[in-house]
Amino acid sequence: MKICLIDTGPIVAYLNGHDAAHKPVANALRRFRGELATTSAVVTEVMYFVSAAPNGPVAFAQFLFGTRVRIVESTQPSQVLAAAEMMNRYGDTPMDFADATLVMLSEQTGVTDIFTLDRRGFSTYRTSKGAALRLMPL
């Protein structure tokens, strides 16, 4: 089964019908056949962005449940240190914590396909072995 990582931006856009990226994201997710995977850091970041929207947190939880997104833990001390070191390396891009955890998840799983709106960042980031992430069309 095909696995694809998913970043914060597409989830927030999917949940917000007024977002400029809503329609392309919804279409891409509708066409996608496979499993979505993300990190607990992305879950936290999305929850922050949707918390002010009426029913935002519940809609997000329903999205996670309905799409069966696999959520991988990313906040253990060793993971936070590794992410912080990676963020340091990409300080000029910049890279946030959620982005770093997705790159680390790519390293752990070998999955390089990612749904993201952060085209600049994720076209620059590389795994520790130099692998590029493949940006999924939106």
The predicted pLDDT at position 1 comes to 84
Q: Are 6 and 42 in contact (CB under 8 A)?
A: yes
Spell out the domains of the chain, with CATH numbers in brackets.
3-135 (3.40.50.1010)
Torsion sign over Cα 18, 35, 106, 112: negative
Measured distance between the N- and C-terminal CA atoms of the chain, rounded to whole angstroms: 20
Q: Is the pLDDT of residue 137 over 90?
A: no
For residue 50, the model assigns a pLDDT of 97
Q: Of 64, 101, 63, 60, which Cα lies nearest the Cα of 79? A: 101
pLDDT in tens, 2-45: 999 999 999 999 999 999 999 999 999 999 999 999 999 999 99
Residues 39 and 27: their CA atoms lie apart, in Å, by 23
Q: Is the pLDDT score of 54 beyond 80?
A: yes
pLDDT digits (tens, 9 = 90+) for 71-104: 999 999 999 999 999 999 998 998 999 999 999 9
Distances (CA, A) of 105 to 22, 58, 98: 25, 26, 11
